[in-house]
Amino acid sequence: MTDAPKTPSVTVSPSGEIKEGSSVTLSCSSDANPAAEYTWFKNNQPLLWGPRQRHTFPSLRPEDRGTYRCHAGNQYGHLSSNSMFLNVTYAPKTPSVTVSPSGEIEEGSSVTLSCSSDANPAANYTWFREHEDSVKASGQNYTITYITPELGGNYCCQAHNAIGHQNSTFLIIKVTSSSSSSHPAMVAVTTIVVLLATILLLVLLWMRRKRAYSKAGGQGGRPDTVEEPLPVSVYENVSAPINRLAPAAQREPIKEQDEPHYASIHTSRSDNQEVPRCWVGSRAQSDQADAVFYSVVNIKRPNAVPGESDPTEAAEISELYSTVKK
């Protein structure tokens, strides 16, 4: 007797909780004559399994989780089974962590850390801080209402369920103190103050130097010139001075230099300093006439030849009497 397919039914083997990695077989059955052909659907989307009654998952994956149904049909009719939910349980995947606000966080602000992970059943979350064993907080979100530099550092969350657990990577929280946030402004102000102080110091030095030069110009000298008292003038009365070291062009016969020559010699003497007793060809008188010294100098003509005697030499020899003021 021919008949259209009866309502198909879907079964899963093994039954009960199905974990990731398990081997699972889905079966569809319907009473029909002639035998029905089967088509599978997942979440109402047809699967390319072919006209088969059974399908086996050798290693179930989380993405195999979903709602399945089968469709049985022959030349006399077509019917669909009820939907069956295939639940695949698995441990949490590696959690991802985020922080709001992101970037550097200013001291005193509120910070929220968030953690999420794909898990079945849904994961629970625990928060830890690096190098600390104690739990900082529990829950998918961890909020610090008033952050300080001491609370900065590396944080991570752990996602766990009945099947397993998984830790996230560390989330770095950088907290800037209120003093450090104003550091660039302080540096700028300090730089300006130092620059202005340097300019003011240079101006003051320039004005001081200018004033010193002006004062020195009014006195007829340089600012660093020390004015000394005028020395006492000593006059020499030389009846016949001769300079043997002078150039030949400047030498003149002794007879043309009969007139006395006076030389002004600046000396700086003190009461305790001894005045030279003899100056060749000089004559000076002391104001107090304490002592008189005489010196005799033989003067020869500059053109005299060694070894020859000049008959006029004796006549040209003069005695110079010099008076030295003590």
> Number of folded domains in the chain?
3
pTM above 0.95, yes or no: no
pLDDT in tens, 106-147: 999 999 999 999 999 999 999 999 988 889 999 999 999 999
pLDDT score for 273: 44
- Report the pLDDT averaged over residues 35-55: 91
With 0-12 / 13-18 / 19 or more C-beta atoms within 10 angstroms meaning exposed / middle / buried, residue 153 is middle
Provide the pLDDT confidence category of residue 177 given band limits of 50, 70 and 90: confident
pLDDT in tens, 307-324: 554 544 444 444 444 444
The whole-angstrom separation of Cα 42 and Cα 55 is 12
The whole-angstrom separation of Cα 307 and Cα 290 is 43
Whether 288 is in a domain gets the answer: yes
8 A C-beta contact, residue 322 and residue 236: yes
The whole-angstrom separation of Cα 222 and Cα 245 is 36
Q: Which of 24, 56, 89 is the last residue of a domain?
A: 89
Supply 222's token pair: 């340089």
Task: Note whether 79 and 157 are same-domain residues.
Answer: no
pLDDT score for 49: 86
CATH code, domain carrying 152 = 2.60.40.10
Domain extent, residue 133, equals: 96-180
pLDDT score for 238: 41
Q: Classify residue 306 by its DSSP letter.
A: T
Q: Indicate the SS3 state at residue 316.
A: helix
pLDDT in tens, 286-307: 344 344 444 444 445 544 445 5
Per the model's pLDDT, the better-predicted residue between 162 and 210 turns out to be 162
The whole-angstrom separation of Cα 47 and Cα 106 is 54
Share of the chain above pLDDT 70, in %: 63
The whole-angstrom separation of Cα 310 and Cα 254 is 14
Task: Note whether 107 and 40 are same-domain residues.
Answer: no
Whether 225 is in a domain gets the answer: no
Whether 249 is in a domain gets the answer: no
Provide the pLDDT confidence category of residue 58 given band limits of 50, 70 and 90: very high
- Report the pLDDT averaged over residues 228-243: 45
